[in-house]
Amino acid sequence: PVQETPGCFPAQGTLGRFHVQGTPGCFPAQGTLGRFHVQGTPGRFPAQGTLGRFHVQGTPGRFPAQGTLGRFHVLGTPRCFPAQGTLGRFHVLGTPGSFPAQGTLGRFHVLGTPGRFPAQGTLGRFHVLGTPRCFPAQGTLGRFHVQGTPGCFPAQGTLGRLHVLGTPGCFPAQGTLGRFHVLGTPGRFPAQGTLGRFHVQGTPGCFPAQGTLGRFHVLGTPGRFPAQGTLGRFHVQGTPGRFPAQGTLGRFHVLGTPRCFPVQGTLGRFHVLGTPGCFPAQGTLGRFHVQGTPGCFPAQGTLGRFHVLGTPGSFPAQGTLGRFHVLGTPGRFPAQGTLGRFHVLGTPRCFPAQGTLGRFHVQGTPGCFPAQGTLGRLHVLGTPGCFPAQGTLGRFHVLGTPGRFPAQGTLGRFHVQGTPGCFPAQGTLGRFHVLGTPGRFPAQGTLGRFHVQGTPGRFPAQGTL
């Protein structure tokens, strides 16, 4: 196992990626999703608004097979796990066949060493309390909003991710989920620092199949989306028919009420709009749209996912992307109450293939796009004429402003290079290893320099994340 350096884990406004342990083989196989291990500098992990250094470790052989998740292990460090505005990915140990009954969630409790989360180098124990019958079996991974003891687990503005794994006929039957809906306490969702209770509903026979990961549709209370530090109410909406097929990953639409979309420490996942009457058909991407709210798109410590508009009838055509550029109104990113326009620039041919997912570099106006503690998804520039050739990527490199990467509150420009012949294959998305300048990582609110490391030979196979 990987040891974390002593001190704190993610501090205010940071985002952790954890270590992946899987069965021997390659790394993520087709359709799987990896979460990576975080290594921090000695003493503390990331300071406020910083990112630390990331490292991906997989065991030799293969990681998860198609449509599975494998097993994740989260190593925290003493005294504090996710603080205000952070996002945790948790390893859940439960007794087999007993979690919440269908349609209920009960309450979550994390058992670790007293007064802190996991002790140094240990996982502690995660225990799920609720009514019996079927959620994650022992060794599976949930994405949960967890209630810890006050002041030491996820605090204000945290976000849960749910992993669905049930025995057939129980919570979700294999390939089905029943209906999902997230219910919070009346009026607001979780009050500051609390979780409330979750209930999941969806359309029958069609949500995430066994081992897949869902991203959910968020509805806020009327008049504003979530107030600072709150989460509003969640609801999963799919279109009739099927949702994502086994092993696929959907992006869903987030509807916020006016005034503010994700605020401090929150994370949005957005909806994919496909052809009318159908979500995206299996393996297609359709068009993306992000609805933000007036005056505040990503605030301190938040992560944005952006909308891409392509030419009518075809988002990026199969295997094409060119270059992305975000056009907003002058002076700020989306003007108050508007999205601005996203335009795809560049030569045709070659980025995400049909059914793949891109993470894009967004240029906002100076001084107002990603703020302190935010995380960018990178814009990839390939060699002229073609982005990455099938199975190769060229070389990756991140270019920022001289000396430091982006200054506090700015984004700068990103360029990605990687070593030839071995990073993501066609249509894949990498998670990157971050290197900071010698002696310290990024200063408060900055991002440092990025470097992509993949294991020799292959990294993710086609269609993986």
What single string gives the DSSP state of each residue in 67-103? T---EE-----TT-SS-TT-B--EE----TT-SPPTT
How many angstroms separate the CA atoms of 257 and 219, rounded?
A: 8
Q: Is 448 helix (H, G, I), strand (E, B) or coil?
A: coil
- Tell me the per-residue pLDDT of 33-92, one tens digit each, with 9 for 90 and over: 233 333 333 222 232 222 222 333 332 222 222 222 223 233 222 222 222 222 223 333
Work out the average pLDDT over 174-178: 27
Backbone angles phi, psi at 449, to 5 degrees: -110, 150
- What pLDDT shows up at residue 207? 29
CA 320 centroid distance within chain: 24
- Max distance between CA atoms of the chain, in angstroms, equals 58
At 182 the pLDDT is: 30
pTM, 2 dp: 0.14
Radius of gyration (C-alpha) of the chain in whole angstroms: 21
User: Are the C-beta atoms of 347 and 311 separated by less than 8 Å?
Assistant: no
Q: How confident is the model at residue 154, as a pLDDT? A: 28
Domain boundaries, the chain: 389-456
Task: Name the nearest CA neighbour of 43 among 72, 69, 4.
Answer: 4
Report, as an integer, the average pLDDT of 127-154: 28
Phi and psi torsions of 255, nearest 5°: -105, 120
Q: How far apart are CA 133 and CA 125, in angstroms?
A: 20
What is the reported pLDDT for 373?
A: 26
Which pair of tokens denotes residue 238? 């799919």
Cα–Cα nearest to 260, from 290, 227, 235, 238: 227
| N residues, the chain | 465
State the pLDDT at residue 71.
Answer: 31
- CA atoms of 414 and 100, how far apart (whole Å): 44
Across the chain, mean pLDDT equals 28
Q: How confident is the model at residue 448 (pLDDT cuts 50, 70, 90)?
A: very low
Q: pLDDT band at 314, cuts 50/70/90? A: very low
The residues, ordered by sequence, that sit 6+ positions from 169 with a Cβ below 8 Å of its Cβ are none
Mean predicted confidence (pLDDT) in 168-180:
27
Q: Torsion-angle region of residue 322: left (phi > 0), alpha (psi -120 to 50) or beta? A: left
pLDDT digits (tens, 9 = 90+) for 379-437: 332 222 222 322 222 223 332 222 222 322 222 233 333 332 222 322 223 333 332 22
pLDDT in tens, 194-212: 222 333 323 222 223 222 2
Look at residues 289, 208, 195, 275 and name the one whose alpha carbon lies nearest to residue 234: 195
Question: Cα separation of 187 and 190, whole Å?
Answer: 9
Would you say 251 and 266 are in contact if contact means Cβ atoms under 8 Å apart?
A: no
Phi and psi at residue 384, to the nearest 5°? -55, 140
Give the pLDDT score at 221. Answer: 27
Instruction: List CB contacts of 178: < 8 A, sequence separation 6 or more.
Output: 102, 103, 171, 172, 200, 201, 202, 204, 207
In percent, the amount of the chain with pLDDT more than 90 equals 0
Give the pLDDT band of residue 457 (cuts 50, 70, 90).
very low
The residue to which tokens 């086994």 are assigned: 246
> In this structure, are residues 132 and 105 in contact, taking their beta carbons and an 8 Å threshold?
no
